[in-house]
Chain A
Amino acid sequence: GAVVSQHPSWVICKSGTSVKIECRSLDFQATTMFWYRQFPKQSLMLMATSNEGSKATYEQGVEKDKFLINHASLTLSTLTVTSAHPEDSSFYICSVQRGQGHKPQHFGDGTRLSIL
């Protein structure tokens, strides 16, 4: 069965609105969660690493005030795209990891975000 649940799978909204994406670890307590972004025909780019109970670590070039990450529990992390614009339209994928360091990442099915 699925290890990771990501919701919603697809969202369309108007420019200027904020959108929240949820990532749930179903099988284990995920100490670490990762958020990736994937533009069409391109690879996954890591946006941020989230550890439960602490602030997320953002990759260079990713605006932390634009992409708010909350990892309030060991089974749930949320990504909020604030004041979304058409250029934020992309495929967002989360992954979960049991523990830290060299542990396997389990990926969600992704969220297709379309900003009109």
Chain B
Amino acid sequence: KQEVTQIPAALSVPEGENLVLNCSFTDSAIYNLQWFRQDPGKGLTSLLLIQSSQREQTSGRLNASLDKSSGRSTLYIAASQPGDSATYLCAVEETSGSRLTFGEGTQLTVNP
């Protein structure tokens, strides 16, 4: 059974700092990995999707990497802003279908 772990559970940084969020998964037989953002009491917004054959994806200040063989992914946020404050979830999609397994998330607070 796939298990996804995210470290740290919570992170508080001053504005402008670069930061890294970590995600690990136990079964490397994945189709893709996604990073989502969740604001309090809201649904999920997809940030980046990395296919299993890819090593990284970039969107603006966000960069996600994937090392499938070691079961790890990182989300790098450059020059953090207070508006980045949210919970960040990673999820892996299994190869046999579209089932997503989520980590418990990292709650990020960026202080002005």
Evaluate contact between B43 and A42: CB separation under 8 angstroms: no
Known pairs A43-B89, A46-B99, A102-B98 / 10 extra A-B pairs, C-beta < 8 Å: A32-B98, A43-B104, A46-B100, A93-B43, A102-B93, A102-B97, A103-B98, A104-B46, A105-B100, A109-B43
With known contacts A42-B104, A43-B104, A108–B43 Cβ distance under 8 A: yes
* A interface with B by C-beta (< 8 Å): 4, 6, 32, 34, 41-46, 49, 91, 93, 95, 97, 100-105, 107-110, 112
Within B72-107, the residues touching A (CB, 8 Å) are 89, 91, 93, 97-105
Q: 1/0 contact trace for B26-49 toward A, CB 8 Å? A: 000001100000000111111001
CB distance from B46 to the nearest CB of A (A): 7
Interface contacts (Cβ under 8 Å), in number, total: 51
Identify which of A43, A46, A97, A101 gathers the most chain B CB atoms within 10 Å of its CB.
A43
Query: For the complex, what is the distance from the CA of A105 to the CA of B44, rounded to whole Å?
Result: 10
Does B43 lie within 8 Å of A107, measured CB to CB? yes
Contact in complex: B105, A43 (CB < 8 Å):
yes
